Amino acid sequence: MALRKKLCFDVLGETIGRRFYSSKLDLKKLRPMILKRIENRAKDYPVRNMVPLAEQVLQTRNLLIQGVSTLIKVFPVHACKFCPEVFIGEEGHLIQTCCGYRRRSKNRVHEWVSGGLNDILTPVETFHLHHMFQRVIKHEQRFDFDRVPAVVELCWQAGTDPNDENLYSRTREESVDGVIGAESLSPEELRMIANGTLKAWEMLRSGIERLLLVYPAKVCKDCSEVHVGPSGHRARLCGVFKYESWQGAHFWKKATVDDLVPRKMVWRRRPQDPPVLLNEGRDFYGHAPVVVDLCSQAGAIVPKKYHCMMKCQGLSAPRV
pLDDT of residue 257: 96
Q: Which of 89-93, 133-137, 270-274 has the lowest mean pLDDT?
A: 133-137
284 against 10, higher pLDDT = 284
Count of structural domains within the chain: 1
When computed from its CA atoms, the radius of gyration of the chain, rounded to whole angstroms, is 26
Is a pLDDT exceeding 50 seen at residue 90?
Answer: yes
Whole-number percent of the chain with pLDDT over 70: 81
pLDDT tens-digit map of 179-231 = 677 778 899 999 999 999 999 999 999 999 999 999 999 999 888 899 998 88
Task: Find the helix or strand (DSSP H, E) in which 68 lies.
Answer: helix 51-71
* 27 lies in some domain: no
pLDDT of residue 10: 53
Q: Which domain holds residue 227?
A: 46-171+184-306
* 34 lies in some domain: no
Determine the Cα–Cα distance for residues 200 and 194; give it in Å rounded to an integer.
10
pLDDT of residue 172: 46
The pTM for the full model equals 0.82
* 21 lies in some domain: no
Q: Which of 122-126, 159-163, 217-221, 230-234 has the lowest mean pLDDT?
A: 159-163
Alpha-helical (H) ranges within 108-180 are 117-120, 150-157, 165-168
